[in-house]
A and B are shown apart, each in its own frame.
Chain A
Amino acid sequence: MEDISLHLLDLAQNSIAAGATLVEFYIRELLKEGCMWLKIRDNGKGMDEHQLNQVSDPFYTTRTSRKVGLGIPLFRASAEATGGSLQVMSRKHEGTTLLALFYTRHIDCLPLGRPEETLATLIFLNPEVNFVYNHETPGRQFRFDTREAREILGKVNIADPIVVDWIREYIRNGIEELNGGA
C-alpha cells in the first residue's frame, strides 16, 4: 500500500464484509513522542478464536497461502516496519477492533495519505453503513459522523455524488486545520 489511508480503506472492507453497520476510525497523532495510534472498530460479526489466531499471529507471512488474505498482514508489516505494532481484538457476534502503532519519524513510515478520499469512497459505496472519522493531534480534534450528516440530510441520500463530494471537502478541511492550517 502506498499510504495509511489506503490501508484504512482496505480494512474497512473487511468490516463491511463482516456485516458491520458502524465502522469507526480513530487517529491520534502524538507529535512529541513521534508516533501515531490508529484504531479501526466495527460492529460486524467478529471472528472466532481460530480465525483470530490466524490473523493475530505475528509470524504469519503473506507468502504461505492466499486463502488467509493479504489485508491484515500487509497492515501489520507497514506498522512493524516503523518499529510499531498491530493488535487485533475480536469477539464473535460483537465486532472487531484493530489497534496499530506507527512511529512516524521512522524512514519507512508511510504517509497518512488522504483519509477524506477513503471516507468518500466508503460512503459512496456503502450508503447503508455509518462511519465515524475521529482525528486528534495535540490539543486539537476533528470528528465526522455520518449519523449527524444523515440527520441534516433527511430524505436526501448520503451517497449522492454532490453530498459525498461535500463530505470529502469537509474532512479534508478538518484535517488541514488539525495540522495548523487556517
Chain B
Amino acid sequence: MKSLKELEEIKQRTLDSVNLRKERTGGTRVVVGMATCGIAAGARPVLLAFLEEVKKRNLGDVTVSQTGCIGVCRLEPMVEVTRPGEEKVTYVKMTADKVKRVVAEHIVNGHVVTEYTIGAAE
C-alpha cells in the first residue's frame, strides 16, 4: 500500500530537480483542446504525454494549458505550440507518439514538425 507520506520524499525530489533544470526553451506555451470533442478524440493521453516529456526532459519553462472547442472537431486532438517570439503552430490529430516528436523537434530544437500541422492536414 502506497502511503501519502511518500509525498514528503517527492517534495524533496521536486525541490532538487528545480535546481537542476537543464534544457531551456525560453517559455514555450502548449495549449491542448480539452472540450468534449477533444476528450472523446483522445486529448487525455496527449496531455499526459506532454506531462511525461516535461518531466523526463525537465523542461521547467514550458507551460501546458487547455482550451475549449477550437471548432474543427474532426481534427481533434489539437495542440497549439507557441515558442517565444515565433508564430503559433497548430498540430492536429495528435497522439502520444506524435507528442514525443513535437517536443524533441519543435519545442526543444525549434523545427516545426510540418507533417502534423493543420496546414498539412487540409
**What residues make up the interface of A, taking CB atoms closer than 8 Å to B?**
1-2, 6, 9-10, 13, 17, 69-71, 74, 117-118, 120-121, 124-125, 148-149, 152-154, 156-157, 160-166, 169-170, 173-174, 177, 182
Please measure, in the bound complex, the distance between the C-alpha atom of A152 and the C-alpha atom of B4, giving whole angstroms: 9
- The DSSP consensus for interface residues of chain A is helix
Q: Say which residue of B6, B11, B15, B64 sits within 8 Å of A124 (CB atoms).
A: B64
A–B complex contacts, Cβ < 8 Å, 21 sampled: A1-B40, A2-B40, A9-B39, A10-B39, A13-B39, A74-B36, A117-B44, A121-B47, A124-B47, A152-B5, A156-B14, A157-B14, A160-B14, A162-B14, A162-B17, A163-B14, A166-B7, A169-B2, A170-B6, A173-B1, A173-B2
Q: Is B8 an interface residue (CB 8 A)?
A: yes
Is B10's CB within 8 Å of the partner chain A? Answer: yes
Beyond A152-B4, A162-B10, A164-B51, 20 extra complex contacts between A and B, CB < 8 Å = A6-B39, A9-B44, A13-B35, A13-B39, A70-B37, A120-B51, A121-B44, A125-B47, A125-B64, A125-B66, A148-B4, A149-B7, A152-B8, A153-B7, A156-B15, A157-B14, A162-B14, A163-B11, A170-B2, A182-B1
Which among A71, A117, A157, A162 has the greatest number of chain B C-beta atoms within 10 A?
A162
In the complex, whether B88 has a CB less than 8 A from a CB of chain A is no
Q: For A70, what are the chain B residues with a Cβ–Cβ distance below 8 Å?
A: 36-37
B6-64 at interface with A (beta carbon < 8 Å): 6-8, 10-11, 13-15, 17, 34-37, 39-40, 44-45, 47-48, 51-52, 54-55, 64
Tell me how many residue pairs across A and B have CB atoms closer than 8 Å. 85
Nearest-Cβ distance from residue A85 to partner chain B, whole angstroms:
20
Tell whether B114 is near chain A: CB-to-CB under 8 Å.
Answer: no
74-89 of chain B: CB within 8 A of chain A: none
B108 to chain A, nearest CB (A): 16
Question: Across the interface, do A1 and B51 meet the contact criterion of CB distance under 8 Å?
Answer: no
Q: Are A162 and B7 in contact (CB under 8 A)?
A: no
Measured CB to CB, the closest approach of chain B to A44, in angstroms, equals 16
Nearest 6 A/B pairs, CB to CB: A161-B55, A152-B7, A70-B36, A71-B36, A166-B10, A173-B2
